[in-house]
Amino acid sequence: MRLLIYIIGSGIAGLSAAIALKRAGYGVTVITKELRGGSSYVSKGGIAAATAIDDSPQMHAEDTLRVGDELCDVEAVRYFTSEAPVIIEELIKMGFEFDNDLRLEGGHSRRRIHHKTDETGRVLTEFLLKEAIKLGVNIVEDELVTLQVRDGVIKGFVTRERGGLISNVDYLVLAMGGYAYLWQYTSNPSTNTGDGGVAIALRAGGAVASDMEFVQFHPTITTLGDETMLLTETLRGGEGARIVNEFGERFAFNYHERGELAPRDVLSRAIYMELMNGHRVYMDLSGIEDFEGKFPSVSNFLRRHGLSNKDRVPIYPGAHFTIGGLRVNVRGETNIKAFTPLVR
């Protein structure tokens, strides 16, 4: 009998799982709040993978462990840094075209950011969506899913519009992203409220949620008018964007020897301290060559608000990446008892 798999969430995680599982012959349905919602669609800079001749997964792992302040799960770091080049190769084989140059980001000792201009997430999500539809993945959009948990066991899920418990499921993939939209200052879209993944962890009880205290704050978010945008880290990495206060001082060097290329948590704290001390903080983009060609979405954003890269852009840190959540192993498996009574 063909197994039925439901995937909740249509970001890069959900769509990648859908494609892999459909190719493996399963019946796959993706259910999502917003087909083009979530972090994936607005993510900018690109994907880190050690593919350059002067780089290796081991070096990538060492950089990650260093900036992780010895708090990382070493097995997970080694697994993901060694898988990253494999995934990049797979995407290229599928026909995804990255730009030719690799970009640099904070904390990395090598150029290893694979990107598509400054809209990598949007372009990659559209690419994966097209592939999933081509393969015949069933997609249900504009549906908020809530899992039904009783006595620590998932009994099924309900969707807001259709209602009714759906329990004829063999496997459920939770790809509902993070919850950083809960913060007042955030880079995240409004879909990221944790109502799916983290909420069931709380309701299921036990040790299913972990590391919830680890929320990464991105240092360079801006709000112009009522539009908020993350100024991608690749602007600083080798492209020459500077972080300055109202006197033009590059104060980040007072906090870390790598200045603007310090790890995100260090730079976020530096900017926060500067703001708390009554200063104003800006990103100065004037030194970037071919700004419009390299960063079209930032350039269009500035233009919409009557600015260009010759103007200083006010910035602040905000909640960005939720590192904690459902406890899983490197294969993404939770310890929640699920569907045992439901598997046919």
Ligand X SMILES: Cc1cc2nc3c(=O)[nH]c(=O)nc-3n(C[C@H](O)[C@H](O)[C@H](O)COP(=O)(O)OP(=O)(O)OC[C@H]3O[C@@H](n4cnc5c(N)ncnc54)[C@H](O)[C@@H]3O)c2cc1C
Instruction: Write out the residues near ligand X by the rule CB under 6 A.
Output: 8-14, 31-34, 37-40, 42-47, 121, 144-145, 175-177, 187-188, 191-192, 195-196, 230, 321
Q: Which is nearer to ligand X, 200 or 251 (CB)?
A: 200
Q: Which is nearer to ligand X, 90 or 246 (CB)?
A: 90
Separation between Cα atoms, residue 90 and residue 252, nearest integer Å: 38
Give 318's strand partners: 218
Q: Which is nearer to ligand X, 105 or 274 (CB)?
A: 105
Minimum separation from the CB atom of position 247 to ligand X (A): 29
- How many residues are present in the chain? 344
Give me the amino acid identity at 208. Answer: V
Separation between Cα atoms, residue 239 and residue 308, nearest integer Å: 16
Q: Which is nearer to ligand X, 11 or 106 (CB)?
A: 11
Terminal C-alpha separation, the chain: 9
- CA–CA distances in Å: residue 118 to residues 103, 105, 107, 218, 324: 11, 13, 19, 16, 27
Minimum separation from the CB atom of position 131 to ligand X (A): 15
Give 224's strand partners: 227
Minimum separation from the CB atom of position 75 to ligand X (A): 20
Whether 162 is catalytic is no
The DSSP code sequence of 86-115 is HHHHHHHHHT----SS-B--TT-SS--EE-
Among candidate residues 264, 303, 327, 331, the one labeled active-site is: 264
Minimum separation from the CB atom of position 199 to ligand X (A): 8
Please answer whether residues 294 and 239 qualify as being in contact, where contact means their C-beta atoms are separated by less than 8 angstroms: yes
Minimum separation from the CB atom of position 249 to ligand X (A): 27
Q: Which is nearer to ligand X, 128 or 251 (CB)?
A: 128
Residues catalogued as catalytic:
264
